[in-house]
Amino acid sequence: MDKTACSFTGYRPKSFPWKYDETAPGCILLKEVLAAQISALPERGVTDWLSGMAQGVDLWCAQIVLDLRQKNAVLKLRCILPHEGQADRWSDSARERYCSILQQADSVDYVRRQNYDGCMIDRNHRLACCWLFSTECGAAAPGQQSAMPGSWAGKSSALTPSPELSRANRHKTFVQNVENYRTVDFLTER
């Protein structure tokens, strides 16, 4: 079975009708559906899970993966964070959940140490790249920045555009870079 990856990021609690009330029937149902979908994927070869670690869907899915990992040790949770201090302004309970998940994660990687305009977009690009190339996204201990080992190391800087570019230009550059790498990877495999 080949190692494959699945990235997830999604809606924040404020976007749902129940907001932050996780006891609401809609929230419970959504978590059950997410758990059922995530539970089915290891049978199809998905072993690496990537979370952007935002409140809501990101954290719920990360927790589901950790729960599944208790029964299947081959599963890996990799947290891709936009910057240090992502949860600094969250409630105490949300920060506690966040820190607990980070401590249990197999790796934690920061796109940049400092917050900047567009860091969430760059985090999403990193999630997409790790999924596209199915490489290890980091091997650092929780709270430490990884050195981005393996084939990802060369792609990381080339695929994640400079924060000095505007959001639109960063996204356009990212898409072009991914297409270029996919073409190069395809040609070098022959």
Q: Which two tokens stand for residue 89?
A: 């302004």
Query: How far is residue 179's CA from residue 175's CA, in Å, rounded to a whole number?
Result: 6
Query: How far is residue 190's CA from residue 172's CA, in Å, rounded to a whole number?
Result: 28
Please give the pLDDT value at position 55: 97
Please report, for the domain that includes residue 145, its CATH number: 3.40.50.450
Q: Amino acid letter at 82?
A: P
Which residue's entry shows tokens 């395809």?
Answer: 186
Q: Over 144-175, what HEC string results?
A: CCCCCCCCHHHHHHHHCCCCCCCHHHHHHHHH
pLDDT tens for the chain, residues 1 to 190: 355 889 988 899 999 999 999 999 999 999 999 999 999 999 988 999 999 999 999 999 999 999 999 999 999 999 999 999 999 999 999 999 999 999 999 999 999 899 998 889 889 888 887 766 654 443 333 333 333 333 333 344 444 555 555 656 655 665 565 555 443 333 333 3
Q: Which residue range(s) make up the domain with 9?
A: 4-189
Please give the pLDDT value at position 118: 87
Which residue's entry shows tokens 């670690």?
Answer: 53
Residue 4 burial (10 A CB sphere; 0-12, 13-18, 19+): middle
Please give the pLDDT value at position 189: 38
pTM higher than 0.85 for the full model? no
Query: How far is residue 101's CA from residue 93's CA, in Å, rounded to a whole number?
Result: 13
Please give the pLDDT value at position 135: 45
Sheet with 107-110, strands from edge to edge, namely 4-8, 46-51, 76-81, 107-110
The Cα diameter of the chain in Å comes to 53
Kind plus residue range of the DSSP H or E element containing 58 = helix 57-69
Which residue's entry shows tokens 């996780």?
Answer: 22
Report how many domains make up the chain. Answer: 1
